[in-house]
């Protein structure tokens, strides 16, 4: 089973079923193609996650939408970016606290990626 979590910078996600916690530290890069613009490349979003097993900080990792790494495995769980909101609009700046990142968390052994359960984490 795959679980979807919406998380904002500075907020934590908890996957109680597997004892996994992570905090979205920041959105370090957002080079997505703005809405209404024809781009040669779709762009990339890079986030920094702080992994928190048992509530203590274990380390920071980067995760990308287009570049590598696009997935990380931690404590048997595969974590990927599923969606980034809001979309980029030409001439507008997205404030860091406006980002909502949808993360997908699934068991490494899971072959049931078709089902998803959504969780909103603020």
Q: Cα–Cα distances in Å, from 49 out to 13, 18, 65?
A: 10, 17, 14
For 13, phi then psi, to 5°, come to -115, 145
Is the CB of residue 71 less than 8 Å from the CB of residue 41? Answer: no
Concatenating the DSSP letter of every residue in 9-69 gives TT-EEEEGGGTEEEEEEEEEEE-PPPBT---SS---EEEEEEE-GGGS--EEEEEESSSS-
Confidence band for 120, pLDDT divided at 50, 70 and 90: very low
In the chain the domains, ranked by start, together with CATH numbers, are: 2-120 (2.60.98)
Q: What is the pLDDT of residues 49-101, one digit of tens each?
A: 998 765 555 689 999 999 999 999 988 889 999 999 999 999 999 999 999 99
Tell me the pLDDT tens digit for each residue of 26-57.
999 999 999 999 999 999 999 999 987 655 55
Contact 95, 9 (CB under 8 A): no
Q: What is the pTM of this model?
A: 0.83
Residue (of 58, 72, 79, 97) closest to 15 by Cα position: 79
Residue 17 backbone phi and psi in degrees, to 5 = -60, -30
Given a contact cutoff of 8 angstroms between Cβ atoms, the answer to whether 100 and 8 are in contact is yes
């Amino acid at each position: 089973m795959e679980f979807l979590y919406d998380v904002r910078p500075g907020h934590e996600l908890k996957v109680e079923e597997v004892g996994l916690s992570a905090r979205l530290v920041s959105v370090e890069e957002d080079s997505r193609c703005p809405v209404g613009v024809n781009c040669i490349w779709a762009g990339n979003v890079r986030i920094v996650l702080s992994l928190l097993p048992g509530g203590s900080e274990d380390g920071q990792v980067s995760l990308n939408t287009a570049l590598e790494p696009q997935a990380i495995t931690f404590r048997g769980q595969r974590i990927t970016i599923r969606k980034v909101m809001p979309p980029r609009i030409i001439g507008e700046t997205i404030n860091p606290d406006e980002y909502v990142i949808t993360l997908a968390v699934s068991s490494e052994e899971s072959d049931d990626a078709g089902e998803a359960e959504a969780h909103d984490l603020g």
